[in-house]
Chain A
Amino acid sequence: MATRTENGPAATAEPSAPSPLISFKDVHQVFRLQSAKDENGAGGTRDLVALQGIDVEIHSGQFVALVGASGCGKTTMLNMLAGLVHPTSGEVVLDGTAPELPNMDIGYMFARDALLPWRTARKNVELPLETRGWNRRERQDRAREMLELVGLKGRESQYRLQLSQGMRQRVALARTLAADPSLLLMDEPFAALDARTKLTLQAEFLRIWEQHQGGDRRKTVVFVTHDLQEAVLLADRVIVMLPHPGRIAEDRVIDLPRPRAEDLGEIQFTDEFQRITHDLFERLEGAIGSRAEGRAPR
């Protein structure tokens, strides 16, 4: 997976002893904030530790969920992978190098749809294909195909304002997947949706991802959410984070069977699922109780 891959499949040379696709090595992120003027009239600065001592390795093809309350640095971690933020100290390695912008092999989806309101649904999906040098015909065909995949056939020529929130996130999903990137960064993609729409979209996303599973290219997913249930439901591995400063509290493999896409509704009520979420929840609560403890052992 090179930094700049053209349309063709990336040359993924799988080494016999696989080195991780992503690694965070003792990553710290400090934001210097301009604080309001104090009594002396001096406008001081305040340091905000967004991430502290993050050590994570993610292997190619893994579906990893980052869970945690707002402000624990989840978005910052995704931004680091996208090359939008560079760590204050420590090292982020993506496919052997430091992430750089733009990486054509990344799809990044946001909580807010970030659709261009002056473009139709189809033209929005075409956007990443334009920067990747696809020609008109190819772009149109691909965009139609992607919109159909996310259940928006017939909505190609509608503008953002003419679509419901669920539909907007579908378009955003189609755009994220359109160029077939091998790394998906998902930042609370379904957080703004109502429970029903959310479940439908989770299932659709998982179905699309799981279909690639047996194939030559299984996408790596880093899925940020503040919803523990969603994390356990979708991911192979759940990393629980804590805020102030942002750090990792728990890192656990979820061994629920796959494919899950078709039974998401039922899985939620299985004992196995309940046990895992309950357990993680308790760990989370325990970790909050003993703040000074920092990261839990792996």
Chain B
Amino acid sequence: MTISTMRPAPAATPAGNIARPRAWQSRTFINAARVLICVAFLALWEIASRQGWVEETLFGRPSGVWTSMLEYLPSERSLESLRATGAAVGVSFVIGSISGTLAGLILGLSPTLNSIFGPFLAPINSVPRIALAPLFIAWFGLTMTAKVVLAVSIVFFILTENARSAVRSVDADLMTMARVVGLKRASLLLKVVLPSAVPTMFAGLRLTFVYALLGVVASEMVAATGGLGQDIVLYSSSYQINTVFAILVELMAVAIVMNWLFNAAERRLLVWQVS
């Protein structure tokens, strides 16, 4: 047995010896259960489709989705759509996060502005934003701007609320300490308020990416010259359901990759949160 310098050697009690294999067993069990559920679901779907229990033209089938992925995903059209959607999501994420965070910080720091603008936030945020898509498209035409405006209108409010509460929930003891130590205004903001808001804001950003994607795809589905949302509408209206599923898988993959990136960034930025 090697001795780890990092953690104390586990006490050689019977309980300690039993606890470890059990935890290991349950983890494998859980993973196996997950895989099994996925496989069972796909198999059932495949069989149901092949046996004619469900209409293939409406519900597709896993093997068909696989073939469509191989055909559609590398195609010029698909890449073009991915580029269009990706660009719109990227732009709305950046614009929405920066403006939303700034607005939230300002509201959180200024009681006056907060009491003026605060009451507007909830009502505006309760408008189902997708319902505004036709309006934005009428105003901005079939452009990237229309998509971005819709996505930003969702992202902005989420992050405003998020940043506002992050700033307001700074630990009271830390604030007292900071004031006694002599921090004021800008230095108080930079050295205490903003850093303590970072974890909350990070959680908000992660959520925000998914909403930016949602806004852009929804806007494209209403009307656009291209993009994954447009493709979904086109393929489903021509009953190429397998391709629709292929696109959904693609969207899911994009979201998962982004989540990984966020996790990695979070681990690097917030080292101090790990004990």
Q: List A residues at the B interface (Cβ < 8 Å).
A: 82, 84, 101-102, 104, 106, 108, 110, 112, 114, 116-119, 127-128, 130-132, 159-162
Contact = CB atoms under 8 A, between A and B. Distances in A.
| Most chain A beta carbons < 10 A, residue from B182, B183, B196 | B182
B198 interface: yes
B174 A114 contact: yes
Contact of A102 (B181, B273, B275): B181
Contact of B272 (A106, A108, A161): A161
Contacts, number: 57
B76 interface: no
Interface string B234-275: 000000000000000000000000000000000000111111
Contacts of A114: 171, 173-174, 176-177
Q: Is the interface of B mostly helix, strand, loop or mixed?
A: helix
Given A116-B195, A118-B195, A161 B275 contact: yes
Interface residues of B, number: 23
B183 A131 contact: yes
Contacts of A82: 180
B125 interface: no
B179 interface: yes
B271 to A, nearest CB: 7
Contacts of B274: 161
Given A127-B191, A130-B187, A131-B187, 11 more contacts: A101-B180, A108-B180, A110-B176, A116-B195, A116-B196, A118-B272, A119-B272, A128-B181, A160-B272, A161-B272, A161-B274
Given A161-B272, A161-B275, A116 B192 contact: yes
Nearest 3 Cβ contacts at the A-B interface: A131-B182, A102-B182, A161-B275
A160 B274 CA distance: 10
A161 B273 contact: yes
21 contacts: A84-B176, A84-B179, A101-B180, A102-B180, A102-B182, A102-B184, A104-B182, A106-B180, A108-B177, A110-B177, A112-B173, A114-B171, A114-B173, A114-B174, A117-B272, A118-B270, A127-B183, A127-B191, A130-B187, A131-B182, A159-B271
